[in-house]
């Protein structure tokens, strides 16, 4: 019986040591989990910072889109203004022609002046568009590789559209001037 009691006591002591060792291991595991939680918290903070940066980039792109829309409106206004001016000039030529044949020289000078002013206006528009594009590029300033590629593509598209619109305006202007010259020649 004493031997049995001694054996049970030894088992109980051994079990106590075993439970203490298991508790120490659980404490070590808890510390590791706490360290992992801290790392996850740091990663979450970094993701929040990245999200804020992306929101700022989105706001900048919205501002750029608004600027592109404003430039489109300016082009539309310029084209309608040019249409009105050409119609006014055409009516004026018809009136002058019916009143007197001597006014042809003055009208020819008027057309040259209009061509010169249109050329100057086109150069000024191209210069201002270039300045606006450079200003937008400077303001964006974000150095994400993906964002740089996206923005470069948007700027190239805008330049292509702008060049196409300017070419269209030049062709329309040249065609209208040729029409005016034909009217003068008759």
pLDDT band, very low/low/confident/very high, at 38 (cuts 50, 70, 90): very high
Residue 158: CB atoms within 10 Å: 19
What's the CA gap between 60 and 83, in Å, rounded? 35
pLDDT at 143 over 70: no
Domain that holds residue 87: 2-185
The pTM score is: 0.34
Which has more confidence, 129 or 28?
28
C-alpha distance from residue 167 to each of 41, 114, 116 (Å): 56, 18, 16
Predicted confidence at residue 168, as pLDDT, reads 81
**Given its phi and psi angles, is residue 100 left (phi above 0), alpha (psi -120 to 50 degrees) or beta?**
beta
Handedness of CA 77, 80, 84, 85 (dihedral sign): positive
CB 127 within 8 A of CB 119: no
Domain count for the chain? 1
């Amino acid at each position: 019986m004493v031997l049995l009691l001694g054996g049970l006591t030894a088992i109980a002591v051994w079990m106590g040591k075993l439970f203490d060792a298991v508790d120490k291991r659980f404490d070590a595991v808890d510390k590791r989990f706490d360290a992992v939680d801290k790392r996850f918290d740091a990663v979450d903070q970094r993701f929040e910072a990245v999200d804020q940066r992306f929101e700022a980039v989105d706001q900048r792109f919205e501002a750029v889109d608004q600027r592109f829309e404003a430039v489109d409106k300016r082009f539309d206004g310029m084209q309608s203004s040019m249409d009105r001016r050409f119609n006014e000039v055409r009516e004026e030529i018809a009136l002058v022609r019916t009143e007197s044949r001597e006014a042809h020289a003055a009208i020819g000078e008027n057309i040259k002046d209009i061509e010169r002013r249109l050329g100057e206006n086109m150069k000024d528009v191209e210069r201002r568009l270039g300045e606006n594009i450079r200003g937008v590029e400077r303001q964006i300033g974000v150095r994400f590789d993906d964002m740089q590629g996206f923005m470069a593509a948007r700027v190239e598209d805008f330049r292509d559209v702008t060049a196409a619109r300017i070419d269209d305006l030049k062709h329309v202007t040249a065609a209208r001037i040729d029409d005016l010259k034909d009217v003068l020649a008759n």
